[in-house]
Amino acid sequence: MPAVVGTVAALIGLADIVAGVVPRYRWSRMHALSEVLPGTVTQLAAAGSIIVGILLLMLAHGLKRAKQRAWLAAVVVLPIGAAAQLIYQHSRIGTLLTLLLFGYLLRHKKSFAALPDPRSRWKAVANFILMGGASFGLGWVIVGSHANKMVGDPPVLEQIEHVIWGLFGFEGSIRYTGGVDYTVGYSLGALGLLTVATTAYLAFRPAYPAPVLTEEDEDRLRELLAKHGERDSLGHFALRRDKSVVFSPSGKAAVSYRVVSGVMLASGDPIGDVEAWPGAIEQFMELAKRHSWTPAVAGCSETGGEVWTRETGLDALEMGDEAIVDVADFSLSGRSMRNVRQMVKRIERNGYSTKVRRVGDLSPEELEVVQKAANAWRDTEDERGFSMALGRIGDPKDLDAVIATAHKDPEEGEDVAFGDLKAMQHYVPWGPEGSSLELMRRDRSADPGMNELLIVAFLQAAPDLKIKRMSLNFAFFRSALERGGKLGAGPVVRIQRTVLIFLSRWFQIESLYKFNEKFRPRWEPRFIVFPNSRDLPRIGFAMMQAEGFLELPRLLRRRPAEPKPYAQDEDSAPAQSEVTRAA
């Protein structure tokens, strides 16, 4: 029902704006009543109707999400809007609808109990820009809507000047007859005051911290991963420090998440004992309900999806497959590995060598070079990733991660900022006997094929590191791509494949699948869990924001606590950042 209330509030808000902008009709039966009021009251009512309308439009989204503060603000402004409608426009229907909504909100107060979202003071800047632009546009409409009352025929530039002066509370050069000067002046002044007031509120309201992983939470997660980390290759990414976490009442399981555009987005399976997962999921759903966030899970396994859907009543959709390579089964021999084998041999003949080591085995100087190179070789200003990205290299708590590096002696005149380092890959633990690839970077001057070289080097060194399996990457909608390319595929599957190939122009969907397939992995399905089909576009938008595919204007974004470690790579392998394993 809050969704309907929000829509009704928006419609009433639009009606209030129209009522304040459009000149009133003198033939109304309510005119006789308004005539006994002072003229200033009538003119202020016009301005009040506009301001209340704007505020209701701003509050509509919060009402849809059952936000407590949106309810309180709406209860305050609705009676003012009803009075303004009645006094200025004499609209009994508009007044009645406004009061009906007011009464409904009072009666169903308990339905609007959601807590505020995480927020940033950058919203104050965004509000000033957007609200200022809207106030100017609406002010221009107000000035022009009373053209028949203007003295003379002022040009457009003079009208613009009048609007600007009016927003700052000063009288412009345009004159009106019949008391319209006051209506226009009060309306413009009120718009300017609303812009300043809402901006000041957003700038100086008490800070509500955005979700971050505390040191205590991280230590508890590491304890769970030490016992149960082999269950899910995405488990270690719960340690991203721009995520938050909820634990089960027993403390034996946890769900990590980030809130993006009102979506409470978890990734992978819950951490910890499977028997304790329902408790952590219950805490997750309770927190989502308390804040009126839309719960969603990106990239959970089949077991995880079954538990999520069973415990919550949510739905699940297969979104792709994870490529997993078993070290014992990997070999460069055979016809199927011919292309990879030839590429690796060619690169080695060109003078490249590789090293695969635990991060803790690198000297401080070597680690510093790797960190600087990883940042320098990133194409974008901000790194991408969320579901399968750690966001850091060389942290003292992550010394068991693995770094694979490619080296070649620099040629004469070549840039040697990072010595002989030409490419690198970073792998994080997947339990005691597994690793998950989370970052690939290379020097643009390096030969093509660096990613293949380093993946092969890692798999060949894995037995000495006591690593038995490696999570390579995630292929979005892999099964649709594979089935659609087979002989005899039906028209629906072919259409799906055509759409995915088209989208691959912007998101490396097909190329990631083809790259992963080179290493003959086994494919494990991954799922997205969501409340309703109508929520999928919103969840998809939030996922793309979290992964870094869609970026809001800089003034609207909050910089994450730690940079995200995906970056575009123009090598023969697609960028790890372009289509992440949980997309």
For a pLDDT cut of 90, what percent of the chain falls above it?
33
- Give the mean pLDDT of 319-340: 91
- Give the mean pLDDT of 303-329: 93
**480, part of any domain:** no
- Domain identity same for 339 and 319: no
Give helix 92-107 / helix 68-84 axis angle, nearest 10°: 150
Tell me which residue range forms the domain holding 312.
215-324+523-552
**488, part of any domain:** no
149's tokens: 């009352």
- Domain identity same for 96 and 175: yes
39-48, 144-153, 277-286, 532-541: range with lowest mean pLDDT? 39-48
**73, part of any domain:** yes
What is the rounded distance in angstroms from the CA atom of residue 333 to the CA atom of residue 348?
Answer: 17
349's tokens: 């003949």
**376, part of any domain:** yes
If you average pLDDT over every residue of the chain, what do you get?
Answer: 81
CATH code at 378? 3.40.630.30
Q: Can you give the pLDDT at residue 80?
A: 86
Q: How far is CA 175 from the centre of its chain?
A: 49
- Domain identity same for 133 and 192: yes
What is the rounded distance in angstroms from the CA atom of residue 77 to the CA atom of residue 18?
Answer: 17
Burial group, residue 371, by CB count within 10 angstroms (0-12, 13-18, 19+): middle
- Domain identity same for 179 and 197: yes
- Domain identity same for 290 and 427: no
**502, part of any domain:** no
- Give the mean pLDDT of 396-414: 85
Q: Can you give the pLDDT at residue 249?
A: 95
What is the rounded distance in angstroms from the CA atom of residue 21 to the CA atom of residue 138?
Answer: 9
pLDDT in tens, 424-477: 999 999 999 999 999 999 888 888 899 999 999 999 999 999 999 999 888 777
Q: Can you give the pLDDT at residue 572?
A: 43
What is the rounded distance in angstroms from the CA atom of residue 262 to the CA atom of residue 70?
Answer: 15
What is the total count of domains within the chain? 3
22's tokens: 């459009």
pLDDT band at 56 (very low <50, low <70, confident <90, very high): confident
**460, part of any domain:** yes
Look at residue 414 and tell me whether its pLDDT is greater than 90. Answer: no
Final residue of a structural domain among 457, 474, 491: 474
Final residue of a structural domain among 204, 236, 262: 204
- Give the mean pLDDT of 541-562: 60
- Domain identity same for 320 and 425: no
Does the pTM surpass 0.85? The reply is no
Give helix 2-21 / helix 39-64 axis angle, nearest 10°: 150
What is the rounded distance in angstroms from the CA atom of residue 495 to the CA atom of residue 476?
Answer: 16
Look at residue 555 and tell me whether its pLDDT is greater than 70. Answer: no
- Domain identity same for 175 and 39: yes
What is the rounded distance in angstroms from the CA atom of residue 98 to the CA atom of residue 83?
Answer: 9
Final residue of a structural domain among 174, 204, 234: 204
Phi, psi of 146, deg, nearest 5: -110, 35
pLDDT in tens, 378-404: 766 555 667 788 888 989 999 999 999
- Domain identity same for 261 and 305: yes
What is the rounded distance in angstroms from the CA atom of residue 135 to the CA atom of residue 194?
Answer: 9
- Domain identity same for 71 and 198: yes
For a pLDDT cut of 70, what percent of the chain falls above it?
82
Q: Can you give the pLDDT at residue 108?
A: 86
- Domain identity same for 31 and 44: yes
Strand partners, 315: 530
Q: What is the DSSP string of 37-103?
A: S-HHHHHHHHHHHHHHHHHHHHHHHHHHTTBHHHHHHHHHHHHHHHHHIIIII--HHHHHHHHHHHH
What is the rounded distance in angstroms from the CA atom of residue 85 to the CA atom of residue 58?
Answer: 19
Name residue, tokens 């718009």.
191
pLDDT in tens, 490-503: 777 777 777 777 77
Look at residue 52 and tell me whether its pLDDT is greater than 50. Answer: yes
- Domain identity same for 341 and 310: no
**145, part of any domain:** yes
What is the rounded distance in angstroms from the CA atom of residue 425 to the CA atom of residue 403?
Answer: 6
- Domain identity same for 173 and 197: yes
209's tokens: 């911290």
142's tokens: 């107000």
Q: Which of 145-149, 239-243, 275-279, 496-500: highest mean pLDDT?
A: 275-279
- Give the mean pLDDT of 309-328: 92
**468, part of any domain:** yes
